[in-house]
Amino acid sequence: MDYLSYKTKSERKEDVVRDWYVVDAEGETVGRLASKIATVLRGKHKPSYTPHVDTGDNVIVLNADKIRFTGDKMKQKQYVSYSLYPGGQKKINPEALAKKKPYAIMERAVKGMLPKNKLGRAMYKKLFVYAGAEHPHGAQKPKKFEF
């Protein structure tokens, strides 16, 4: 037999076929949903997954304002940012962040689960989070993603 028939097929970025999926976040737990979304963005749910190629699909998250935390995390958890200037450290809890930007909690959770490199930043661009039940991506004919 030919030894080439046993080689593993690596996906090329030109050959990737991207689907669009809609996820309803209403009543879901933040971390559990974020890990499933990160898996889809990376492409690990496909048999053609290749670690060094962005093989993932586009994900639309709806009702991000109705997401929940377990326990007392909504009041006790803190998101910390630092501007690198003296006194430039800011802290905000999810309760206050949800009032300002209800979509930001889901975006931060998913971004933290993606690779911290150029490939991870490209994957993050395929995430679309909306606070309500409407989205402007009807032309892409997104499918409902079942976990």
| Residue 92 resides in a domain | yes
| Residue 2 resides in a domain | no
The residues near 37 (Cβ < 8 Å, ≥ 6 apart) are 23, 59, 61, 110, 127
Indicate which CATH number applies to the domain containing 123.
3.90.1180.10
Do residues 65 and 102 touch, judged by C-beta distance below 8 A? yes
> CA nearest 13: which of 41, 60, 47, 48?
48
pLDDT at 8: 79
pLDDT at 147: 74
Write out the two tokens for 36. Answer: 């499933």
| Residue 7 resides in a domain | no
pLDDT in tens, 8-66: 788 899 999 999 999 999 999 999 999 999 999 999 999 999 999 999 999 999 999 99
Q: How confident is the model at residue 2 (pLDDT cuts 50, 70, 90)?
A: low
Q: Does residue 1 have a pLDDT over 60?
A: no
Q: What domain count does the chain have?
A: 1
Do residues 102 and 61 touch, judged by C-beta distance below 8 A? no
| Residue 1 resides in a domain | no
Q: For 95-100, which contacts have Cβ atoms below 8 Å and span 24 or more sequence positions?
A: 98/65, 98/74
pLDDT at 92: 97
Which residues is 144 bridged to in the sheet?
22
Q: How confident is the model at residue 7 (pLDDT cuts 50, 70, 90)?
A: confident
| Residue 43 resides in a domain | yes
pLDDT in tens, 76-102: 999 999 999 999 999 999 999 999 999
| Residue 6 resides in a domain | no
| Residue 4 resides in a domain | no
Domain around 105: 19-132
| Residue 14 resides in a domain | no
pLDDT in tens, 64-79: 999 999 999 999 999 9
Q: Which residue has the higher pLDDT, 65 or 3?
A: 65
Question: Percent of the chain scored above 70 by pLDDT?
Answer: 97
pLDDT at 5: 65
